[in-house]
Structure 1
Amino acid sequence: MMTVTHTICPSCSVGCGINLITKDKKVVGTYPYKRHPVNQGKNCLRGREYFKILGEETRLTTPLIKKGNLVDSDWEEVLNLAAVKIRSYKGDEIGIIASGNCTNEECEILKKFADALEVGKIGYNNHNFPKFDFETGTLDDLEKSQFILVIGNILKDNPLLGRRIILARENGAGIIAADYPEKTTTGINADEYVQIKSIREFLDNIGSEVQSKLDEHSTIVVGKLDQKEELDDLYKIASKSNSKLIPVMDDCNSRGAMNIVPALDTDDLKVLVESVKLLYVVGDDPVSYTAESFKGLDFLITQSPTINNTTLLSDVVLPGACWAEKSGSFTNSTGNTQKIQQIVPVAGDAQDDVVIIQKIAEKLDIKL
C-alpha cells in the first residue's frame, strides 16, 4: 500500500511543502501539497527529485574508521575512538563545523556539546551571508510589490520564490535584476537587466532610476553576496526607502542555524580549521571548499548521510540520518519555522544525528 506524507523540501531555503509517496517503507516519489502557503501546491524539478538522495549509491549506512584506508566498523568502536580523541585535546584545540542543512534541534544539541567541552571555535558555512535579526519581507509582500530589485538569479536558483516575482510582474510590478553573467533567467524576465562586475560596485553606484522606484511598496531580493558586509548596506537602503528586504540563502535551514551557531564565510572557516588539531564536522563538506586548510589537522571526525570529500579524508565517519529519516524543524529565509517528521526508517546502520551526538557525549560523561 502506498502512503502520502507531508514534509518540507530541503533543496533550498524557501521552505516549500512537499508530499512524499512511500511504499514498503521506501520513498518512491512526490506529490504536490496543494494547501501549503509557501509554494501553493507547486514544486520545482529539484524539489520533486530530491527524494532520490535517499537511495543514492553515495549514502553512508555503516560506520567507517581509518586503518590505512577507510574500512567498515561498528558503532562501539567508532564512538569509543571519537571520545578518546576528543578527550585528549583541550577545548581551544577542537573545532566544530555544522551545516545549514542541520535541523534546528541538531544545531541546538551540537552547541550544547561545544559549550560542555568549552569549544568556542564552532560555526557553519552561510556562503557570505552574516547573521541578521531584522524582520524580512514575506512572500505575500513580494507578490504584492509594485517594484522589485533582484540581486542574483532567483528564478533559476529558487523557482518557487521566483514564481512570486512573476506573479507580481503579472500584476504590474516593475522588475530590475542585477547579476554577473551576460544573460540570466531572472534578467530575461525583468524589465531591465543590469550586468555588474561586483555587488559592491553596484551598491556604491546604485542609479537614481532604482532609488526613485524603491518605496514602501517595493521589495529587494538578494540571492548572493560577495562580502557579508553588503547585507548591512542593503538593509540600510531598504530602511531608508521603507522597502522590504528578503535575503535568500543556500541551505534549507540557513536562517535557523544562524540563531544557534555562528554564521561564517569560507575565509572564517578556513581560519577555524587551521587553528585546531581535532575537527568534528556534522552535515557539511568543508574539504570541497577549503581543502588546503586540512593539512595541519591531527584528527578528523565527520558525521554525514552521504560520502563526500570530507568523509573520504576522515579518521572516523559516523553515518547520520538523511532528510525524511528524521524529525525536527527548519526555518526558511523569511523566518518561518516548520516541522518535519520521520517518514521512513534510517537506512542501514546509520543513526539519527541527535542520537549520535548524545552517544558521544555519554562516552565523555557529558550531560546534554
Structure 2
Amino acid sequence: MEFKYVPSTCPYCGNGCGINLVVKDGQFAGISPWQRNPVNEGKVCIRGNKSFEFVNSPNRLTTPLIKKDGKFVEASWEDAYKEIASAFKAVKGDAIGVVASARNSNEDSFVLKNFAANVLKTANIDYCGRRCNADAVKGLADAFGAGATTNSLADLETAQAILVVGSNPLEENPLAGRRIIIAKQKGAKIIVADARKTPTARLADIHIACNPGTGVAVVNGIISAIIKAGKENKDFIAKKTSNFDKAKAAVASSTPEAVAKIAGIDAALITQAAEIFAAAQPAAVVTSAGAGSGDLIRALANLQLVTGNVGKAGAGVNLLRGKSNAQGAADVGAVPGENGLAVPAMIDAAAAGRIKALYVVGENIASAGAHVTDALGKLDFLVVQDLFLTETAAKANVVLPSASFAERDGTVTNAERRVQRIRKAIEPVGTSKADWQIICDIAKAMGHEKDFVFKDAEAIFNEIAKAVPAYAGINYAKLEKPEAIQWPAAGGVFGTAFLYADKFSTKDGKAAFAAVEYKAGEAAGAEFPFMVAAQWPMGTLSMNSASIVREWPYPVVAINKEDAHAQGIINGDAVKVSGKAGSVVLAAKVTAEIKQGVVSMPAGFAAAAVKLEKVTEEA
C-alpha cells in the first residue's frame, strides 16, 4: 500500500483554500489538512473536504463523443479533432463564440484566449462567471484603478467593524466567514444587510433586514449619516481622492428616514450602523461578485473612501468570488476583445442566427434557463469540453473529456489575488486531458502547429508572466511555498497583501468617488407580490458529490411562515414560483428567518418579483 500527500488548491469557491490530496495506491482517496496554507490554515468546508467524490464519480466523461443521428457515439481523439477542425474552419470569426470557465486554470484560459484570437480569429470570448462579476470588477477598477479585491482575507480578523452587503460568507465562502467570526471574537462590530436571517446575519450586532435590491440605498444612507455627523475622514479625502463633492451631493437625500421607506427597515438602524462604522479604524466591507452590481460596488467604494478605509490592513472592499479562478480568468485575458461579445450577448446572437458555432470549455451555460437551451439548439455546431455530460454538453455536436484539478498541473488566482498551484496527484480518468492540451491539439488540427507547442503547464505560465504585468516575476518555483504570491508580485520577491498603501492605480494616483444614486428595480405588485433574495445555486461539481447532495438533495424556495400560512403552504410542499421570465417548481422551506414579502431561491432563476402557487396533486 502506497500513500502520498499532494498539496493543491480547492476547486470550488474563490477563497482558494489550500488542501492536501491524499493518494492511496494511485487513487484520490480524500483530503488532509494543509495547516501552513495562510488562506484557510487547514480548515476546509464540506465542498473542499469532499472534492475527491466528483473526481471519482462514475459519471465522469472518459472518451470523446460525437453526435450521429441525434445520439452520441464514442470516438477517437483524432476523429473528434477532425470533426471540430472542419466545422470551425467553415465559420467566419465574428460568427463563432468561445466560452471560458472561472474554474479552469490560468494556463487553460490563457491558451484559450490565444486560440480564439489567433486561430478562430474572433473577439467573442468571455468566461461565464463574468456575467455576475463584470459590473463589480469594473466598479473597483473605476474607483481604485484595479478590478480586484483590495485586501487579504486574513485582514478581516483585524477589522474593528465589518459591513456585509450582498453576501452570505458563512454559507457561500465559509473560510472567509471564519475570519468574520474571529473578528467578532476579537471585539469587532458586525453589520449585515440582508432580507434573510442567514448564518452570517445571526453573527451581526446590527442586522438590517432590507428588501432585496436596496443595498445601494442602505450604503448611501450610511454614507449620508456619516457626512451629516461630520465624521468623514477629511484629510484622507483631500489628499487621496477626487470628486467627493459629486458623491456627497448624490447621497444628500438618502436620510435614514428616506432609506427606511425604500428598504423596509427602521431608520434607527442606518444611524446606528453609521456611528459604528465611522468610529472603527480599520473597517472593512464584504460583498459578493454575484450580488455586487456596479452601483453597489461604487457605493461601497465611496463608503471606504469617506472613512479612509483603503490602503491599509483590515480595511478595503473585499469582493468574494463564487468560483476558484474568477480573478485569474480575467487576469489572463479570457474576456471580450475589441467589439467582442460577452456571454449573454453571444447567447442572444446565437438565438438570432448571427453566432453559428460555439466552443464551451468547462461551463454549463444551459443551466441558466430555457432561453439558453433554445439558443444552443439554433447553432450549426457546438463543442463542449467538460468533466460531465451536462445539460450544455447534451446539446453538443462533439463532447471532449477534461481532466480534473487532481489530474493536472497549473495555477489559479483566488479572490485576494493569491496565485497558487494545483498539482497533478493521479492519472486522468479514461483518455481525458488537461483543457490546455486539448485546445493545443485542436489548434494543430487546424494548421497552427508552431504557435501552440507547450512542453507543460509551467511553460504556459512563463508566457503568462511575460504577458500580464501583475504576474511579472512569478514562476512555479516561487509558488512552491504555501504562502504563494499575491499580485502585484514586486518582481516575484514578495506579494502585495493589500493594495494602494502609497497611491491608487488611477491615472492621477487618486481614488475616484462616484455620484451613485439608488435606482429602484422591479417592484412587487398585485400580480407578483413577493420580492426575490437569491440563494447560491449548486453547480456541476456539487451535483456530482454524493455527500453534498445528501445535505442539499434538491433546490428550495424559502418562504416566511406568515406568508406561507396565508398561501396555504406547509414545509415541503411543491410550489410553483412564477415571474415575468417564466416559472419553476420548487420545494417549500417555511421559515421565520426571512422577512415577510420576500422569498429566497437559487440565483439561476432570473426574477426580481414573483408569485407563489401551491402545486396540488390534481394539477
TM-score bracket relative to the smaller structure: over 0.9
Whether the 8 Å contact between 1:321 and 1:350 is mirrored in structure 2 is yes
How far 1:205 sits from its partner (Å)? 3.9
Q: CA offset at residue 41 of structure 1? A: 1.3
Query: Which residue of 2 is the match for residue 170 of structure 1?
Result: 185
Aligned to 1:30: 31
Which residue identity does 1:297 align to in structure 2?
L
User: In 2, are the aligned partners of 1:128 and 1:265 still within 8 Å (CA)?
Assistant: no
Cα distance in 2 for residues equivalent to 1:96 and 1:227:
24
CA contact (8 A) 1:256 1:330 kept: yes
Structure 1 residue ranges (4+ consecutive) displaced by more than 4 angstroms after TM superposition: 263-266
**Counterpart in 2 of 1:109?**
111
Alpha carbons of structure 1 residues 242 and 288: separation in structure 2 relative to 1, 3 Å: same
User: Which amino acid in the other structure matches residue 150 of structure 1?
Assistant: V
For structure 2, the residue ranges without an aligned partner over 5 or more in a row are 223-269, 310-315, 453-619
> Match of 2:324, as an amino acid?
C
For the residues of structure 2 that align with 1:216 and 1:97, how far apart are their CA atoms? 42
Aligned to 2:198: 184
Q: Calculate the aligned-residue CA RMSD, in Å.
A: 1.9
Structure-2 separation of matches of 1:272 and 1:136? 36
Query: In 2, are the aligned partners of 1:121 and 1:272 still within 8 Å (CA)?
Result: no
* Residue matched to 2:304: 238
**CA offsets per residue over residues 218-254 of structure 1, 9 Å max, x none?**
1101024263443233223223322311100110000
Tell me which of the two structures has the higher relative contact order, counting C-alpha pairs closer than 8 angstroms and 6 or more residues apart. 1
- The normalised TM-score by structure 2 is 0.57
User: Aligned-pair distance for 1:204?
Assistant: 4.4
Q: How far apart, in 1, do the equivalents of 2:42 and 2:52 lie?
A: 17
1:297 CA displacement = 1.2
Residues in 2 aligned to 1:15 and 1:205: alpha-carbon distance in whole angstroms? 34
Question: SS in structure 1 opposite 2:79?
Answer: helix
- SS of equivalent to 1:296: coil
Matches within 5 A, 1:1-368: 1-67=2-68, 68-116=70-118, 117-126=120-129, 127-130=131-134, 131=137, 132=141, 133-134=146-147, 136-151=150-165, 152-181=167-196, 183-196=197-210, 197-198=212-213, 199-206=215-222, 207-212=270-275, 213-214=277-278, 216-223=281-288, 224-225=290-291, 227-243=293-309, 244-259=316-331, 260-262=333-335, 267-268=344-345, 270-271=347-348, 273-274=350-351, 275-289=354-368, 290-366=372-448, 367-368=451-452
Moved more, 325-334 or 200-209: 200-209
- Aligned counterparts of 2:208 and 2:74: Cα–Cα separation in 1: 53
Q: Percent identity?
A: 33
Secondary structure at the aligned position of 1:128 is classed as helix
Would the alpha carbon gap of residues 110 and 26 (structure 1) be closer, same or farther in structure 2, given more than 3 Å must change? same
Equivalent-residue separation in structure 1 for 2:356 and 2:295 (angstroms): 30
In the aligned structure 2, how far is the partner of 1:231 from the partner of 1:269?
26
Q: Would the alpha carbon gap of residues 233 and 125 (structure 1) be closer, same or farther in structure 2, given more than 3 Å must change? A: farther
- Greater C-alpha Rg: 2
SS across alignment from 1:6: strand
Structure 2 counterpart SS, 1:258: helix
Cα deviation for residue 323 of structure 1 reads 1.1
Distance 2:346 2:321 in 1: 17
Q: Structure 1: which 5+ residue stretches go unaligned?
A: none
Deviates more, 1:310-319 or 1:204-213: 204-213
Q: Is the Cα–Cα contact under 8 Å of residues 128 and 228 in structure 1 kept in the other structure?
A: no
Count of residue correspondences: 367
Q: What is the Cα deviation at residue 269 of structure 1?
A: 5.2
Q: State whether residues 253 and 330 of structure 1, in contact with CA within 8 Å, keep that contact through their aligned partners in structure 2.
A: yes
Question: Aligned equivalents of 2:111 and 2:422: distance in 1?
Answer: 17
TM-score in terms of structure 1 length: 0.94
Which deviates the most, 231-240 or 273-282? 231-240
Deviation (angstroms), 1:194:
1.7
Distance across 2 between alignment mates of 1:136 and 1:15:
16
Contact residue 363 and residue 386 of structure 2 kept, 8 A: yes
* 1:254-280 Cα deviation digits (max 9, x unpaired): 011112222898744533644411000
Other structure's SS at 2:50 match: helix
